[in-house]
Homo-oligomer: A and B are copies of this chain.
Amino acid sequence: MNIRRLRLRSGASLYLLVAVLLGIGCTPAVAGSAAKVDAGDTAWVLASTALVFLMTPGLGLFYGGMVRRKNVLATITQSLFICGIAGVLWILYGYTLAFGPDLGGLIGSLDWIGLRGLDMKPAPDPFSSLYGSTIPQEAHVIFQGMFAIITPALITGAFAERMRFKAYLIFIILWATLVYDPVAHWVWGHGGWLGELGALDFAGGTVVHICSGAAALCCALVIGRRKGYDREHFSPHNLTLTLAGTGLLWFGWFGFNAGSALAANGLAANAFVVTNAGAAAGMVSWVLAEWVHRGKPTALGAASGAIAGLVAVTPASGFVAPIAAVVIGLIAGPACYLSVMAKTRFRYDDSLDVFGIHGVGGIWGALATGLFAASSVNPVVATDAQGLFITGSAVLLGRQLIAIVSVLFYSLIVTYLILTLVGVLTPLRACEDEEDAGMDISQHGEVGYAFHP
C-alpha cells in the first residue's frame, strides 16, 4: 500500500511536470475579457460544433460509397481517423498556431499551447471581436477544431484506393500543422494577413475548400493514377452510403456556415437560409446539366451537386442574400460538373474529385463573395468594398483573388514538399499486389462486408 502510494506519488509528479510544460491545470486563468457568456449564443455554437463534427464521419460514408468494395473501410477510416489525430493535435498546438496571438500576420504564437491560459469566459480583447464576445473561448476552440478535422479529411478523396496508411498518417500530421494551421491564421486568426487585407471568407471557402482542393490536386499528381486506370472502370460500389453521407454532410453544413456567426442571431439565420439555398440550387443545376449532357439525371449527380452548392456558398454565407445564394448554387453545379469532366481530359486521377468539387467550387464561391457581398447583410462588409454586383466596385473581388491565389499556391507547394518528405520516409502508395487485394485487407487486415457464407 505504501509502495503503491509512492508510485502514485511519483506518477503524479511526472504528470505534474508534463502538466506544467503543457499548461494542464491552466483552464482558470485569472485574466480574461469583461465580456459575458450568453447562453443562447453558446447553445448555438456548441450545437453547430456537433453538427460540423458529424460532417467528417459523413464524409467517410460519402467517399466510402464511391470506391470499390475492397477499399471501403480504408476510405472511411482515412476520414474517421483524422477525428482522432487532428483532434489531439488541435488541442496540443493547432489552436494556438492558428488562433494564438499573431506573429507577423503569418502564424499564431505558442502562447495557448495545450489550451493553457484559456478560461471559461469569452476570448479576451481584442480577440473577442473575431472569436466571439459572447461565447466561452473553449467553444471557439472546439468549433474551429472541427474545421481543422474536416479539412484534411477532404483531401483523402484524392488518393483513395492506393495510399498507404502509414504514409497517410504522417502526411496528415504534417499537412495539418504546416498548411492548415497557418492558412487558418491568415484568414481567420486575429492579425492574419488575409483577414487584415479585407478578404472575406465567412465559413471556409479558402481555408477549407481551396486549401484542401489544391492539396488534393497535388496528391493526385504526385501519387499517380490507380492501377488499372486505363483498363478498368472504378465505379462506386455502394451509392446508398454516398447518399446517406450526403444527407449528413448537408445537415452538418448548417453548423459549418450558420455556426460561423458565432452567435444565434439574424446573421446566423440568414447564413442558414443561404446555405440551404446554395445546396438546393447546386443539386438542381448539376442534375439538369448532366440530364442535358448525358441524358440521365443521376443520384450521384444530385449528391455531388448539393456538395458543390454547399462548397460554393460557404465563403459567401455570411455576406449575401438568399437569392444571391440561389444564383451561386445554380452556377456551382454546372461549373463543378465541367471541372469533373475536365479531369478525364488531363488524365490525373483525383479519385473522388476533390479538386473538381472543393477546389473549383471553393474558387467560385470566393469569387462569388466578391460579387454578391453586401454590407446590408453583414456590417463587417465595408460599404466601399462590397460585391461587384452590389456597388459595381471590384475592390473586394480583387482581394478575393489575392486570397484565392495565395492559398491555392501555398497549399500546392507545401503539400508537394510534404509529400516529397513523406515519400523519403516511407513509400506513399501500396504495392501492386496490395492495391489488387484492396486497401482494406492490405492496410487494415479487414473486409468491409462478409456477406458470403
Query: Footprint of B on A, CB under 8 Å?
Result: 5, 8-9, 11-12, 15-16, 19, 22-28, 37-44, 46-47, 49-51, 53-54, 56-58, 60-61, 64, 68-69, 72-74, 76-77, 80-81, 83-88, 91-92, 114-115, 119-121, 134-139, 141-142, 145, 165, 235-241, 243-244, 246-248, 250-251, 254-255, 258, 263-270, 272-273, 276-277, 279-284, 287, 294, 296-300, 302-303, 305-306, 321-324, 326-327, 371, 374, 376-377, 388-390, 392, 394, 440, 443-451
Contact = CB atoms under 8 A, between A and B. Distances in A.
B389 A142 contact: no
A19 B323 contact: yes
A276 B145 contact: yes
A118 to B, nearest CB: 9
Nearest to A68: B450
Given A40-B41, A85-B280, A251-B57, A444 B299 contact: yes
Stoichiometry (number of copies): 3
Given A115-B322, A446-B300, A243 B80 contact: yes
A84 B284 contact: yes
Given A238-B448, A240-B64, A299-B73, A37 B280 contact: no
A323 to B, nearest CB: 4
A76 B9 contact: no
30 contacts: A8-B394, A11-B389, A12-B371, A22-B323, A23-B323, A25-B390, A27-B374, A27-B376, A43-B44, A46-B47, A46-B272, A69-B451, A73-B299, A80-B283, A80-B306, A81-B302, A83-B283, A84-B282, A84-B287, A87-B283, A88-B326, A114-B322, A115-B273, A115-B322, A138-B266, A239-B448, A241-B244, A299-B440, A300-B446, A449-B451
A96 to B, nearest CB: 12
Contact of A24 (B25, B240, B298, B324): B324
B237 A136 contact: no
Given A24-B323, A25-B321, A240-B241, A120 B265 contact: yes
Given A265-B39, A322-B91, A236 B450 contact: yes
Main secondary structure of the interface of A (DSSP, over half): helix
B44 A46 contact: yes
B40 A240 contact: no
Contacts of A114: 322-323
A170 to B, nearest CB: 13
The 10 A-B residue pairs whose C-beta atoms are closest, nearest first, are: A120-B266, A57-B247, A39-B40, A87-B280, A84-B283, A40-B40, A43-B44, A43-B264, A28-B376, A138-B269
A392 B12 contact: yes
Contacts of A444: 296-299
A46 B258 contact: yes
A16 to B, nearest CB: 7
Given A251-B54, A321-B27, A323-B22, A39 B264 contact: yes
B142 A272 contact: yes
B327 A15 contact: yes
Given A73-B243, A80-B283, A114-B323, 8 more contacts: A12-B392, A39-B39, A39-B264, A61-B243, A84-B279, A120-B265, A136-B269, A240-B448
A84 B138 contact: no
A270 B88 contact: no
Contact of A81 (B9, B40, B283): B283
Given A53-B254, A281-B88, A324-B24, A139 B269 contact: yes
A18 to B, nearest CB: 8
